[in-house]
Amino acid sequence: MPEAATPIRILVVDDEPDLRELYTLTLVREGWEVEEAASVGEARARMAQQGFDVAIVDMRLPDGEGLDILAWAAAQRRAERIVMATAYGNAATAVQALKMGAFDYLTKPVDLRQLRQVVRSALAQGAAAGSLDRQASALLAMVGDSAPMLAVKDTLRRAARGMAPVLIQGESGTGKELAARAVHELSNRAAGPFVPVNCSAIPEHLLEAEFFGYRKGAFTGALASHDGFFAAAAGGTLFLDELGELPLSMQAKLLRAVQERKVRALGEIAETPVDVRLVSATHRDLQRCVAEGTFRQDLYYRLNVIGVTLPPLRERLDDLPQLVEALLGRIRTDHGRPGLRLSQDALQQLRLHAFAGNVRELENLLHRATALAATDLIGPQDLDPPAEMQPPLYGAVAAPPGHGGTGWTQPPARRDAGTQPVAAWAPPALPLELSTYLDQIERNILLEALRRTRFNRTAAAQLLGLNLRQIRYRMERLDIRDEGAASESYDEPR
């Protein structure tokens, strides 16, 4: 006879008998075995007697807090996935629980559909845990074994175990979406959808409809109902890229959706529960944005439960050979050139590059070198950066003499035989106030872009890779005036 399946055991910890009974009846109907406890001491005693798959723990208990059970379970290296139940509006406690290792949290009064969803998700995470092959596959796209990258990968593995929101920060081109996909693929939601959203690419007046959806007739032009990003990501992961570009009005609406786990589509009266894992990314310093009043502090703390900072390429040059080989592998396939390779001299030249655009810039350099190389061996002469990659707008930051502003750094000039010594470039003194220094550089760059476009803000924004809202914000912050010229093109809404 086949062995009977091991029953799923769930522990419900709450001091209110009516709530314990409600949770128990809901979970028993799913075919799960349920035991109850009314206090911290009773919960510990039951967990000491046997193991459970999931524990639903109330935050407030007669002899302590649910966090005490969470801390005890972590110290004992218990395997239970613990879900905390918190009072409405107690955001700080929920965030603290997630940081301490809780799988997820529920807001009281608990929606029974959400209770079932969270328990199923916790059970699925337990069943999927420990698959080394799956972990290796999920992290394969994140090339590099340097110390900074190993630390990042370890954080991503740990972040994938629960449902805590993850905030990925890093410069442009460092691979923030790859990191977000790794969290998704390492989690129990890997079979669900991964929905990436570029927050900076959506017009402000469409944000609410795109995020939460709308019903037919909700507004002029709504000829059919449309599900939003939250609905599209049900059972999976919603990735909010360029989070820092969301306007404050949308931040308030997103905060409610994150807190309540519910959304209301335009034209709907009732809210609908949503089952999504939130991962966000930004190249901005969000703490600075909070201080400047352009990003909500409460939303920042809600989404930054687990923070991941991706290192720029210049801080992990040990990974350069692996990155080059991985990128050339794709280029070989795309260009049908299986013998394509990089010479050692060319690799050494790459090590001297500033890589302001990080891995994305490295990929662009290799694509260009492939097109220019006379043979399948890419040499240093093929890696000279093109004029369009040189930063002409950054004239406010003086390049070392003789370097031409290309972004390549070279050793100081030496004395040539029979000539006077060539003066070596000395680095400038460090600024007394870094933020003021950087603001001045940014102001000079913006002014140069605006002058080149006769103060057409739309054209200047395109020149700098910004949208209109971003350049307006920067001009206001840095006190840049329009100088009487047309500041925006006629087809851009204000």
pLDDT in tens, 8-22: 899 999 999 999 999
**Ramachandran region, residue 179 (left: φ > 0; alpha: ψ -120 to 50; beta: rest):** alpha
Question: How confident is the prediction for the chain on average, in pLDDT?
Answer: 83
Query: pLDDT tens across 118-170, in order?
Result: 999 888 866 554 455 555 566 778 899 999 999 999 999 989 988 899 999 99
Q: Is the predicted pLDDT of residue 25 greater than 90, yes or no?
A: yes
Query: pLDDT tens across 430-456, in order?
Result: 666 677 778 788 888 888 888 888 888
Nearest to 278 by CA among 294, 253, 297, 259: 259
Kindly list the structural domains of the chain, giving each domain's residue range(s) and its CATH number in brackets, ordered by start: 9-128 (3.40.50.2300), 134-215+224-312 (3.40.50.300), 320-390 (1.10.8.60), 432-494 (1.10.10.60)
With bands split at pLDDT 50, 70 and 90, how would you rate the model's confidence at 418? Answer: very low
Which range is least confidently modeled, 8-12, 13-17, 356-360, 489-493? Answer: 489-493
- Which residue type occupies 133? D
- The most confident of the ranges 84-88, 251-255, 347-351, 374-378 is 251-255
Q: What is the dihedral of CA 60, 270, 197, 82, to 10 degrees?
A: 20
pLDDT of 195: 94
Note the helical H segments in 188-239.
Answer: 207-212, 229-232
DSSP state for residue 214 in the 8-state scheme? B
Q: What is the dihedral of CA 427, 433, 435, 436, to 10 degrees?
A: -90
Query: pLDDT tens across 239-283, in order?
Result: 999 999 999 999 999 999 998 889 999 999 989 999 999 999 999
Q: What DSSP assignment string belongs to 83-143? A: EEEE-TT-HHHHHHHHHTT-SEEEESSPPHHHHHHHHHHHHHHHHHTT-HHHHHHHHTTS-
pLDDT of 408: 42
